[in-house]
Structure 1
Amino acid sequence: MASLPRRFLVHTITVEDYQGQTSKGPRYGPARTVRCLVDEQTRAVRTPGGEQVTSTSTAYAEPEEQAAAPLSRITLPSGRVTTVILTKRRDGGRLGTPNHTEIQME
């Protein structure tokens, strides 16, 4: 199936990939821009470790988009800075739903 139609990718977020912890705090990679659709809706999600947490925003991007690792820093179109809970690749297979990358954030 095809990707999300480009006309739906009306927002831009800035992603700074988490690279680990230092003695001065978290270290992030260079900022990169991702076109997406941002949905600022609160929902419960599970972390990769199985813990249930609250997500306040979800971004839907093209399936080819590089995944943002958990704890990566995201700047939303509103200017709010948040962190990634998890990234999922959604493949609709033969269902006819668009393939995309889903980024769930705190």
Structure 2
Amino acid sequence: MVKRVPGWLLRHRITVEAYAGDTAYGPSYDLPVCDVPALVDEAPRMVRGEDGREVLTATTVIAAPDLNCPPGSRITLPDGRTTTALTVARHTSPGLPVPANTVVSCE
């Protein structure tokens, strides 16, 4: 039975700077976590943001279920572009043969 998305499916490597909150000087981020295994899909999709608005995302990232990437986090993609996490969905299916994973929709 598959418990989490297999590592061999996560062909890309990204860098994640987890959003830590706002300060008087703007957004604050945790230290970068480099070489995070992920699958990057650059197909546009419509998603509903945290504020309820529908937004068009340019990139979707699929990673392990324990990925620390709250909305607002900065992600550096394999081609060097930096994007921002808009929504984060953690998928688990206890008892089913479906891999647990985290899906991050980015600007």
Per the normalisation by structure 1, the TM-score is 0.89
- Could you list the runs of 4 or more consecutive aligned residues of structure 1 that deviate by over 6 angstroms after TM superposition? none
Farther off after superposition, 90-99 or 32-41: 90-99
Per the alignment, in what secondary structure is the counterpart of residue 30 of structure 2?
strand
- For structure 2, which runs of at least 5 residues remain unmatched after alignment? none
1:11 corresponding residue in structure 2: 12
Q: Give, in whole Å, the separation in 2 of the partners of 1:100 and 1:71.
A: 19
1:92 deviates by: 2.6
Per the alignment, in what secondary structure is the counterpart of residue 2 of structure 1?
coil
1:49 corresponding residue in structure 2: 51
Per the normalisation by structure 2, the TM-score is 0.88
Q: Give, in whole Å, the separation in 2 of the partners of 1:8 and 1:15.
A: 19
1:70 corresponding residue in structure 2: 71
Farther off after superposition, 3-12 or 88-97: 88-97
- For structure 1, which runs of at least 5 residues remain unmatched after alignment? none
Amino acid at match of 1:69: P
Deviations 1:25-55 (Å, cap 9, x if unpaired)?
2221100132111111100001122111111
Per the alignment, in what secondary structure is the counterpart of residue 14 of structure 1?
strand
Q: Percent identity?
A: 40
Deviations 1:32-80 (Å, cap 9, x if unpaired)?
13211111110000112211111111111111222x1111111000111
1:13 deviates by: 0.9
Amino acid at match of 1:90: H
Q: Give, in whole Å, the separation in 2 of the partners of 1:100 and 1:49.
A: 23
Amino acid at match of 2:73: S
